[in-house]
Structure 1
Amino acid sequence: MHFSIPDTQETKDANGSIFTSYNIYVNGVFHCSVRYRQLHQFHEELKKEFGASALPAFPPKKILPLSPSQVEERRTLLERYIQLASQDVQISNSDQFNGFLSMAQQETQKQEPENVSLAAYLMNGHKITVNIVSTNQTEEILEAVASQIEIPDEYVYYFGLYLVRKEEGGDNSIVRKLQDFESPYISLKAANKEGVHRIVLRKSYWDSSFDDDLLENKITMNLLYVQAVSDIERQWVLATKDQLKHLTTLQERGSKRDYVRLARTLKYYGYIQFRPCVTDYPNPNSRVLVAAGNKELNFRVQVQDQIKEGSFKITRMRCWRITTTYPEGSGDSSSSSSPNLELSFEYLMARDTLKWITITSSQAMLMSMCLQNMVDELIMKKQGKKFKKPQDHTKSPQTIGVNGETTHYGDNTHFKRQQSRESQVDSKAVHNDDQSAINKAMGSVKKISDKFSKSSKAENSITQNDAFEQIGDDDL
């Protein structure tokens, strides 16, 4: 995950007092606004759980009011703190970390728990509606959607929920994968203030060999088929005329499994394609189409009148970073000029030869997350680990309380899969169960401000690639 705190804002509390809020962005998207003392208490809770030595230095308290330059210095230090802390997987996957971010999102968007319906879509536009509590997190929503269409438990986390934007030309572009620390309902509502978005269910793995598992089940096989048809129609997957003709014949016959098996042999199957952008490789300001998949970033670069293709394997990327740049003469982040996002990665071009390559794209954050997910999957597979299952999701995230107290704020029993599949359920009992879930959430979710009331060219940090250490002579 990429964290940034690019700006601050002056806010009034209930008593009319003015204070500074720090705006936290996750993966390039605004997530929440929090006070310094909330972040300080968050740091104290992390210290109790993981120890001070596991955490970066936290900017010290000040007795007197801060000047504008001191506020800016504190913003920079807080940004650095959360970037470094989040790089520790044990910390970033903890209940304390995710619970804090979830709570902060709820308070910032002023979202109280309530009974709502949420729509998720398949790649063919089929709509799946689930009844949820508005503050439920991504894992709970994914499990509810999976239960609705009866995906077997062992295959639920082969899929993920993605935020997708409707573009002016009619196409849909992936904005990002929804993370465990956020509420999809709140995130969708916030995103729709800036355009039409929807939540889409897609497979969330990169290694197409996992398709073999899903092809054995009718429901998951159909999901693979729907996504393959969509990706071929939008030309994310390339096929010759003869291959397209064969695919059409299989479609007409209803041979979905054979369709997927043929699609797997096609170029760019399983890749995510990004919008046209600019790179400095092989020459400055080269136009490029970038795609992520099959353990690589694929470049199709326009060189004079030709399109040249190259691939950059993730195992040969030593590290990468996201940088925000502003047009020349625009100054800094206070300028009204739109910033540019750059993804830069250090690549092992040959033995003992490393080179930085930069892509300038509004989707740089998504590219970075794709790289991270491919690396994580590669390591997971080499270690012989498996995808988690809903039964592994045994406890709800916790709030960060005062004096070390923790409170469960969610209740995933609302989505017990056995209950959701019962065909004969008394309507009054359903209403009571829903209201009970809301009441539990209302009673246990305390606003961050309440809980802490007793407690007195911007560049993100470099992401190291753990898979790089596994490179051998055969990769050179």
Structure 2
Amino acid sequence: MHFSIPDTQECKDDSGSSYTSYNMYINGVFHCSVRFRQLHQFHEQLKKEFGASSLPPFPPKKFLPLSPPQVEERRNMLEHYVQLVSQDTEIANSERFNGFLLSAQQETQKEEAERVTLDVFLMNGHKIVVNILSTDQTEDVLEKVASQIEIPDQYVYYFGIFLVRKEEGGDNSIVRKFQDFESPYISLKAANKEGVHRIVLRKSFWDSSFDDDLMDNKITMNLLYVQTVSDIERQWILATKDQLKHLATLNQKGSKKEYLRLARTLKYYNYIQFRPCNTDYPNPNSRVLIAAGNKELNFRVQVDNQMKEGSFKITRMKCWRITTTFPDDQEEGTKDSKPNLELSFEYLMARDSLKWITITSEQAMLMSMSLQAMVDELIMKKQGRKFKKPSDRLKNPSRGVVSGFGTNRQSSYANGELPQDIMEENQNEEQSAINKAMGSMKKISDKLSKSSSKADNGLTENTAFEGIGDDDL
């Protein structure tokens, strides 16, 4: 995960007192605004659960009002703290960590828990309507969708729910996969303020051998089929004219398994295709088509009027990072200023020869998350682990959240009923303490560094990196 706190805002609480709120972005998307004291209380709870030695230093308290330079210094220190904490997988995967982020999102968006319906789509446009709580987290929503369409429990987490944007040309592009620390309902509502988005159910694995597990079940096989047909129609999967003719014949016959078996032999099966972007390889400012899948980033670059193709294996990427920049002709805070996102990875070109390669794309964050997901899946397979099942999760956990974020609020209800404590929430003393004046959120571009300066959101070390040996040369 990529955390940043690029800016702050001045707010007033219920008593009229002013305070500074820190805007937190996760994977390039605004997530929440938090006060210093809330982050400090969160730090104290992490110390109790994981020990002080496992945590980085937390910015010290100040007893006098902060000057603007001191606020900026604290913002930078808090950003660094959250980035370091999130790199500890034990902490980042804990109920304490995810519960804090989920509750912070809920309070920032001023979203009270209520029963709502949520539309979740398949890639062919088929709509699944589920009844949820507006504050249900991602895994709760996924499990309810899976239950409604009768996906067997052992296959639920072969799938994920994704935020998809409707483009001007009529196509749909994947924005990101929903994470467990957020409410899909709240996130969708926020995203639709800046365009038309929907939630889509897709398979959530990269190794096509996992298809074999799903082929013998009618429901999961149909989900694979629907996604594959869609990917072929939008040319995410490439096929010759003869192959397309054969696929059309199988489709007419209703031979779904045979259709899938043929599709799995085609180029870019089980890849995500990104929109055209720029890279500095093999030449500066090269136009490139990038696809992620099969443990690689695949490049198609126009060189000397010819389309040349190359691949960068994830096991040869030592590390990667996301950087935000402004073009030289833009100024900070101007109306039309828009930051560029860059994904840079250090690649082992040959033994003792590492090279940094940079991609400039508004989908750089999705590329980075795709790399991380492929690495995590590769490690999972090497360790012989399996996809988790709904029964592996703690149901109705007392989530680790701090005061001001609805202490110990539960986010998952097995029977789908609205709990009595939430129905009476307006009479609850705890609710009256929740801050009602977080203020309007600011866009990430408002206070990022000036032209040609860079805001590095942290270096991701690749745990699947493999050096080149003599047999590889």
Give the TM-score normalised by structure 2.
0.92
Alignment partner, residue 450 of structure 2: none
CA distance in 2, matches of 1:253, 1:233: 18
Alignment partner, residue 72 of structure 2: 72
User: How far 1:70 moved relative to its partner?
Assistant: 1.0
The one-letter amino acid paired with 1:369 is M
Report percent identity of matched pairs: 73
CA distance in 1, matches of 2:41, 2:217: 48
User: How far 1:57 moved relative to its partner?
Assistant: 1.3
The one-letter amino acid paired with 1:189 is K
SS at match of 1:34: strand
Give matches, 1:228-307, under 5 Å.
228-307=228-307
Is the contact made by 1:21 and 1:34 (CA closer than 8 Å) also made in structure 2? Answer: yes
Is the contact made by 1:103 and 1:399 (CA closer than 8 Å) also made in structure 2? Answer: no
Alignment partner, residue 378 of structure 1: 378
Is the contact made by 1:56 and 1:85 (CA closer than 8 Å) also made in structure 2? Answer: yes
Alignment partner, residue 209 of structure 2: 209
For residues 361-381 of structure 1, give each alpha carbon's deviation from its aligned partner in whole angstroms, at most 9, with x where no partner exists. 000000000000000000000
CA distance in 2, matches of 1:348, 1:411: 45
Which of 462, 467, 473 is the equivalent residue of 2:464?
467
**Structure 2 residue 362 is matched with structure 1 residue 365:** no
Does the C-alpha gap of structure 1 residues 184 and 33 become closer, same or farther in structure 2, counting only changes over 3 Å? Answer: same
Alignment partner, residue 352 of structure 1: 352
Give matches, 1:47-446, under 5 Å.
47-332=47-332, 337-397=337-397, 398-401=399-402, 407-414=408-415, 433-434=417-418, 436=420, 438-439=422-423
The one-letter amino acid paired with 2:14 is A
Uncovered stretches (5+) of structure 2, i.e. residues with no partner: 436-453
CA distance in 1, matches of 2:467, 2:425: 45
Give the TM-score normalised by structure 1.
0.91
User: How far 1:437 moved relative to its partner?
Assistant: 8.2
CA distance in 2, matches of 1:143, 1:474: 46
What do you get for the CA RMSD once the two structures are aligned? Answer: 2.2
User: How far 1:22 moved relative to its partner?
Assistant: 0.5
SS at match of 2:347: strand
CA distance in 1, matches of 2:428, 2:165: 34
Is the contact made by 2:38 and 2:402 (CA closer than 8 Å) also made in structure 1? Answer: no
SS at match of 1:144: helix
CA distance in 2, matches of 1:437, 1:156: 30
Is the contact made by 2:273 and 2:290 (CA closer than 8 Å) also made in structure 1? Answer: yes
SS at match of 1:412: coil
User: How far 1:165 moved relative to its partner?
Assistant: 0.3
Alignment partner, residue 13 of structure 2: 13
For residues 202-225 of structure 1, give each alpha carbon's deviation from its aligned partner in whole angstroms, at most 9, with x where no partner exists. 000000000001001000000000
For residues 380-407 of structure 1, give each alpha carbon's deviation from its aligned partner in whole angstroms, at most 9, with x where no partner exists. 00000000001111234504246xx972
SS at match of 2:265: coil
Is the contact made by 1:5 and 1:75 (CA closer than 8 Å) also made in structure 2? Answer: yes
Alignment partner, residue 37 of structure 1: 37
The one-letter amino acid paired with 2:401 is I
The more displaced of 324-333 and 8-17 is: 324-333
CA distance in 2, matches of 1:445, 1:244: 64
Is the contact made by 1:6 and 1:333 (CA closer than 8 Å) also made in structure 2? Answer: no
Alignment partner, residue 422 of structure 1: none
SS at match of 2:327: coil
CA distance in 2, matches of 1:336, 1:448: 40
The one-letter amino acid paired with 1:178 is F
User: How far 1:447 moved relative to its partner?
Assistant: 5.8
Is the contact made by 2:351 and 2:469 (CA closer than 8 Å) also made in structure 1? Answer: no
CA distance in 1, matches of 2:188, 2:79: 25
For residues 175-225 of structure 1, give each alpha carbon's deviation from its aligned partner in whole angstroms, at most 9, with x where no partner exists. 000000100100001100000000000000000000001001000000000
Count of aligned positions: 453
Does the C-alpha gap of structure 1 residues 437 and 374 become closer, same or farther in structure 2, counting only changes over 3 Å? Answer: farther
CA distance in 2, matches of 1:445, 1:174: 41
Does the C-alpha gap of structure 1 residues 445 and 194 become closer, same or farther in structure 2, counting only changes over 3 Å? Answer: farther
SS at match of 2:259: helix
The structure in which a higher percent of residues are helix is 1
Is the contact made by 2:140 and 2:412 (CA closer than 8 Å) also made in structure 1? Answer: no
Does the C-alpha gap of structure 1 residues 234 and 290 become closer, same or farther in structure 2, counting only changes over 3 Å? Answer: same
SS at match of 1:466: coil
For residues 320-355 of structure 1, give each alpha carbon's deviation from its aligned partner in whole angstroms, at most 9, with x where no partner exists. 000000111535578851110000000000001000
CA distance in 1, matches of 2:204, 2:113: 28
The one-letter amino acid paired with 2:325 is T
For residues 30-85 of structure 1, give each alpha carbon's deviation from its aligned partner in whole angstroms, at most 9, with x where no partner exists. 00001111111111111111111111111111111111111111111111110110
Is the contact made by 1:409 and 1:445 (CA closer than 8 Å) also made in structure 2? Answer: no
CA distance in 1, matches of 2:191, 2:347: 34
CA distance in 2, matches of 1:215, 1:355: 41
CA distance in 1, matches of 2:317, 2:432: 40
CA distance in 1, matches of 2:429, 2:140: 17
Is the contact made by 1:133 and 1:437 (CA closer than 8 Å) also made in structure 2? Answer: no
Does the C-alpha gap of structure 1 residues 26 and 294 become closer, same or farther in structure 2, counting only changes over 3 Å? Answer: same
SS at match of 1:150: coil
User: How far 1:410 moved relative to its partner?
Assistant: 2.1
User: How far 1:17 moved relative to its partner?
Assistant: 1.5
